[in-house]
Amino acid sequence: MYLTYDQRSLDVQYSPSSCVADINVFLREYAERSAMARDRLDVYSGIRYGSRPEQLLDYFPAADAGGPLLVFIHGGYWQELSRLESSFMALDLVPRGISVAALGYGLAPAYRLPEIVGMVADGVRWICRNAGQLPARPGSIYLSGCSAGAHLAVMSLLDPAGWQRHGDRPDRAVAGAVLLSGVYDLEPVRRTYVNQALGLDPETARDYSPMRRLPSLLPPLVVARGENETDEFGRQQAEFVDAVRAGGGRVTDLVVPSRNHFDLAFDLGLPGTMLGDSLTELLGVDR
């Protein structure tokens, strides 16, 4: 079917929930912590960055407008979750002087993947163009995304023509990115149950795979996954890291002990964790 996998095995490989007892525990925690962030922190909710109804973001400013801004792009296999469950890291980051933006976008099957990729890229470029008005310091904008969000984050950096239309380059406008448990080659995904909503054909899977668009001008990356993930997520990360490095890119490659596909992102704002310290180093802020 694909590599050494039959259909059932490949579906399991691309089912991150196969590695946890109950995915709903994590989904509830995303929602509860994100609601807590909106209650406890200053937030500008529903800022529009494009014409589609889903093109909204929530912005959590740190007290110091001169600090870095982390733009988080949620996962959910391009078909679930929203910005409303995706600001939990703001509770940890904003008090440390790091602003957070949770980026919303339209989902499959209402939108096809090229449209979703385009929406997120528009959002990233909008934030870069309007950093001074948020306020955030231009040149200190960082991306992060988990699973499908990691795919969308890196795809937003692999569109040089889109950046050129705005007179910029992604490696100059975005200072770095933290990619968690990402999908970087869509061909195996196309062959699984996930494609029922996406409707990928071979050409679209190829054209919208970051692995097929390297090398490119990329800022420094932190690429991480949990120890408790499927072999295919491990292979995807290893091959992506190798490809970026082969093109001259700077990558920190992490496999985080005791973490899985769903709880890894909780470490983003936590000093003393492998991921939290890597984020701190990338952003150049004190622990």
DSSP codes, the chain: -BTTB-HHHHHHHT-GGGGSS-HHHHHHHHHHHHHHHHHHS--EEEEE-SSSTT-EEEEE--S-TTS-EEEEE--STTTS--GGGS-TTHHHHGGGT-EEEEEP---TTTS-HHHHHHHHHHHHHHHHHTGGGTT--TT-EEEEEETHHHHHHHHHHS-HHHHHTTT--HHHH--EEEEES-----HHHHTSTTHHHH---HHHHHHT-GGGG-S-----EEEEEEEES-HHHHHHHHHHHHHHHHTT--EEEEEEEEEETTTGGGGTT-TTSHHHHHHHHHHT---
Say what the pLDDT of residue 1 is: 66
Alpha-carbon gap, residue 24 to 7, rounded angstroms: 25
Q: By the 8 A CB rule, do 276 and 268 touch?
A: yes
CA torsion through residues 193, 13, 276, 213, sign: negative
Q: What is the pLDDT of residues 41-55, one digit of tens each?
A: 999 999 999 999 999
Share of the chain above pLDDT 70, in %: 99
pLDDT of residue 88: 98
Q: Is residue 109 part of a domain?
A: yes
CATH number of the structural domain spanning residue 93 = 3.40.50.1820
CA 279/CA 287 separation, integer angstroms: 10
Positive or negative, the CA dihedral 80, 81, 82, 83 is negative
Residue 240 domain flag: yes
Q: Tell me the average pLDDT across 259-276.
A: 97
The number of domains in the chain is 1
CA-CA-CA-CA torsion sign (113, 115, 118, 123): negative
The arithmetic mean of pLDDT across residues 261-269, rounded, is 98
Rounded Cα distance between 128 and 122, Å, is 10
99 torsion bin: left (phi>0), alpha (psi -120 to 50), beta (else): beta
pLDDT at 287 over 70: no
Question: What pLDDT digit, counting tens, does each position of 183-240 carry?
Answer: 999 999 999 999 999 999 999 999 999 999 987 789 999 999 999 999 999 999 999 9
Q: Is the pLDDT of residue 93 over 70?
A: yes
Q: Is residue 2 part of a domain?
A: no
Task: Judge whether 110 lies within some domain.
Answer: yes
**132 against 80, higher pLDDT:** 80
* Predicted TM-score of the model (pTM): 0.97
The answer to whether residues 283 and 251 touch, using CB atoms and an 8 Å cutoff, is no
> Is 1 within a domain?
no
Mean pLDDT along residues 144-154? 98
Query: What residue type is assigned to position 212 of the chain?
Result: R
Structural contact between residues 156 and 124, judged by C-beta atoms closer than 8 angstroms: yes
Amino acid, single-letter form, for residue 103: L
Q: What is the mean pLDDT of the chain?
A: 95
* Residue 166, pLDDT score: 79
Banded model confidence at residue 247, pLDDT cuts 50, 70, 90: very high
pLDDT tens for residues 62-83? 998 889 999 999 999 999 999 9
Query: How many angstroms separate the first and last alpha carbons of the chain?
Result: 47
The per-residue pLDDT for 3 is 86
CA distance linking residue 180 with residue 264, whole number of Å: 8
| DSSP β-ladder status, 56-60 and 99-103 | antiparallel
